[in-house]
Amino acid sequence: MSILKKVNVFRRALTHSITKNIGSSQMNRNIDPTEKVEIKRVLICRPNARLGNLLLITPLVQEVIDTFPECKIDLFVKGFLAPTIFENYENINHIIELPKKPFDHLIKYFQVWIKIKKQQYDIVINVDKNSSSGRLAAQFANSKYKFFGEADEDLQSKYKDYEHIAKYPVYNFRNFLTQLGFEKNEKPIASLNLKLSPSEVAEGQKTVKKLVNNDKKTICIFTYATGDKCYSESWWEELYERLKTEYHNYNIIEVLPVENISQIAFKAPTFYSKDIREIGSVIANTKVFIGADSGIMHLASAVQTPTVGLFSGVNQNKYQPYNNNSVAINTNNSTIEELIKVINNILINN
């Protein structure tokens, strides 16, 4: 491990130890059920730069909008992807971006905190309880009601999918609203949603047609992932050959990562782009997406394409794709033959 990485690990551990006890959600605290509650300004804190983690807050954003259609939402995030992801969310008022490397951008870093402090919010929601910056922002912001992202044991026992990182903030939000006098909401939680426009989907259709040059339906694969989530070339080679044999009436295309890496040696027609919405528009025009746990897997889910998520670690319940006939497969105890059966079922119902 490099010195820089060691410093970062130490910094994160130190920051987490300092901030882990900051604040607690204002639940059951002198709430007057007869008080008229007006929610006009909301701050959602998810200071994380990763594509997947930003897409995973879209169900919460949709929940807030559905509940308070006239509200304005500020997002406290990190990096540069959020404006692209939330491009078509009309209720988004400001995207407050924390620099990815705050020590290199100290002036901007302090300007972000001043911007948060200046605004008066009705509700502040910290999405991830383990986010030090998120907890600090929730504590720092001026707001009548605050959530710091703690797990709720009662909700955890009630909802089997409470562990999912896209869902538990919604369950917490709904639970709190009942204490403010709002009706209980038991509707299914919304899917991840990039909100592609019809013109974007149409452009994606043209791109796929150029790649395959025929009218057959298309299967999309993404063979890359970071760290130990990335499956070997031999694993993907075996699956790819089986897909070609099993689905000879379908096209198979591969979406490439920003690293421009293919675990099947570029044997399939490939699509490469650094534009998240452009990648999403291509995947939206395919019948099923197959890929390991990654930001692109969540992107496939966010464009409503049936998604087969491949998991070999312990985070399946937290990050698995859901809705739209999507399925998570634990490859530690599932064979490629079983994976093919899952894909068959999706294609039959799609």
Measured CA to CA, the distance from residue 101 to residue 124 in angstroms comes to 24
| Token pair listed for 13 | 């551990």
Instruction: Look at residue 307 and tell me whether its pLDDT is greater than 90.
Output: yes
pLDDT at 32: 63
Give the DSSP H/E element, type plus range, for residue 38.
none
CATH number for the domain formed by residue range(s) 19-179: 3.40.50.2000
CATH number for the domain formed by residue range(s) 198-348: 3.40.50.2000
- Taking residue 159's Cβ as centre, other Cβ atoms within 10 Å add up to 16
Instruction: Look at residue 30 and tell me whether its pLDDT is greater than 90.
Output: no
* pLDDT tens readout for residues 70-82: 999 999 999 899 9
Mean pLDDT for the chain? 90
Instruction: Look at residue 15 and tell me whether its pLDDT is greater than 50.
Output: no
Strand order from edge to edge, sheet including 270-271: 270-271, 251-255, 218-222, 288-292, 307-311, 327-330
pLDDT band (50, 70, 90) for residue 350: confident
Instruction: Look at residue 24 and tell me whether its pLDDT is greater than 80.
Output: no
* pLDDT tens readout for residues 225-284: 999 999 999 999 999 999 999 999 999 999 999 999 999 999 999 999 999 999 999 999
> Beta strands of 79-137 (E only): which ranges?
92-98, 120-126
* pLDDT tens readout for residues 167-184: 999 999 999 888 888 999
Higher per-residue pLDDT: 255 or 7: 255
Asked if the domains 19-179 and 198-348 are classified in one and the same CATH topology, the answer is yes
Where are the domains positioned within the chain? 19-179, 198-348
pLDDT at 27: 47
pLDDT at 22: 57
Give the DSSP H/E element, type plus range, for residue 6.
helix 3-19
* pLDDT tens readout for residues 317-332: 999 999 999 999 999 9
| Inter-CA distances, 101 with 8, 98, 140, 156, Å | 11, 9, 20, 35
